[in-house]
Amino acid sequence: MIDGYFIILLIIGVTTLLASFLPIVLKRFKISFTIPVLILGGTFYYLSVPLPWPDPTWDIDLTLHFSELVVIISLMVAGLKIGLNYSWKEWLNPLRLLGITMPLFMAVVFIVAYYVLNFSGELALLLAAVLAPTDPALASEIQLNKKQSESSKNLGAQYNLTAEAGLNDGLAFPFVYLAILWSKSDGLNSDVWLEWLSFYVLFKTVVGIIVGIAVGFLYSYFTTRLSEGNTHRIHLAFVALSLTLISYGLAEVLNSYGFLSVFFAGLFAHYHQHKNKTNNTGHPSLSFISNIEKFLIVFWMLFFGGSIMAGIMNFITVEIVVFSICLVLIIRPVLGYISLYGSKLSKRHKMAISFFGIKGIGSVFYLTYAIKNGEFTNTDQLFSIVALVILVSVLMHGLTAKRSMAAIEDDNTLIE
């Protein structure tokens, strides 16, 4: 009898090899590599390939930590690409998406979940918080494709989607905690609100940002001082991964938001090079950590495809199907466009930014985290809704992103 361990090794090798060549094959069809991998995962499950498939919902601990790793690596990639090359004025559009689109989106989800789907208050709030952030991992193909510079930087859809995804994964966390607190209490009384605002909003956010800035700043300072004449001795490939783990681990040890810390560490990792206007070779390697990101996404999508075949969406109703499709195709685009109404971006860029609010791995992390740490009941439908929203997002955005982004890049009209 063949050892299942060796079958798993074979599957990993074949899958990663296919993923390596998929961009060449898919270039002609202009679709995302996530779609074939999703189908492959469903096929593997159908063939009873011996992998740890969900049955039918995801294993909480395994899913929590795997999705967590994918998200923090994607956040570091986003932070390194943006750096400190954008002015406060150029950050206004991403902040519009965070300050207007995200809370309005959460309000719509909460109202529909509570009044139409008849969820309890804490479940409705959890669903709103879980679906609020856009995904830095699955959206990587429509975000910035290289490190930006002051002299040559993207100010359109790619930049705005990258900056939004980099920040909103951390800023959705306070609302996940509010739902957790609600699940453990009789209601949202004044004590719960005070604890939430003081600790989960103010303390954890501020400390997380400070930790990220400090880690990025210190790395930039010491590499500037120590790397002169010694750049060939620095293993740059590991630097970005190290910064990711250090900033995230330290922030979590200090009981703050590690997602925000990782993103800000990426932003400030080039602080002294940016300040001195030098191109020091001590920069963290983007290519290495970007490849790790894609490697992990391949296996996340593989298991996601298997989870669909395993029956993770068995708990949906017709109302949930309509609701999930509307979230991706109507609600996010409309609210995104409303938030950008006063900006000077061209109509085409506004429409692209509004439409490509991809939902993905971050939502899975938040859901599993809340279920593990809260006291929620009847959560099966939440798994189904999140899975369905991600599936609709992967298919719709995966089929349209490359064509749309190519058309936008060919259009030099950035400002109306």
pLDDT digits (tens, 9 = 90+) for 85-105: 898 999 999 999 999 999 999
Judged against a pLDDT cut of 70, whether residue 400 lies above it is answered with yes
Judged against a pLDDT cut of 80, whether residue 176 lies above it is answered with yes
Judged against a pLDDT cut of 50, whether residue 132 lies above it is answered with yes
| Cβ burial 384-406 (10 Å sphere, 16+ → b, else e) | bbbbbbbbbbbbbbbebbbebbe
Q: Which of the two residues, 143 and 204, has the higher pLDDT score? A: 204
Highest mean pLDDT among 15-29, 287-301, 318-332: 318-332
Q: Which of the two residues, 114 and 240, has the higher pLDDT score? A: 114
Judged against a pLDDT cut of 90, whether residue 110 lies above it is answered with yes
Is 176 in contact with 402 (CB distance < 8 Å)? no
CA-to-CA distance for 305 and 316, rounded, in angstroms?
Answer: 17
End-to-end Cα distance, the chain:
67
pLDDT of residue 227: 62
CA-to-CA distance for 402 and 352, rounded, in angstroms?
Answer: 11
258-282 mean pLDDT: 80
pLDDT in tens, 331-349: 999 999 999 988 888 888 8
Judged against a pLDDT cut of 50, whether residue 21 lies above it is answered with yes
Is 328 in contact with 400 (CB distance < 8 Å)? no
pLDDT in tens, 303-323: 999 999 999 988 889 999 999
230-235 mean pLDDT: 57
pLDDT of residue 114: 95
- Which one, of 293, 364, 250, 223, lies nearest residue 76 by Cα? 293
Judged against a pLDDT cut of 80, whether residue 27 lies above it is answered with no
pLDDT of residue 264: 96
pLDDT classification of 230: cutoffs 50, 70, 90: low
CA-to-CA distance for 92 and 59, rounded, in angstroms?
Answer: 39
Taking the whole predicted model, whether its pTM rises above 0.85 is answered as yes
Which of 99-113, 194-208, 296-310 is predicted with the least confidence, judged by mean pLDDT?
296-310
Q: Which of the two residues, 237 and 395, has the higher pLDDT score? A: 395
16-20 mean pLDDT: 78
- CATH code for the part of the protein at 4-410: 1.20.1530.20
Judged against a pLDDT cut of 50, whether residue 242 lies above it is answered with yes
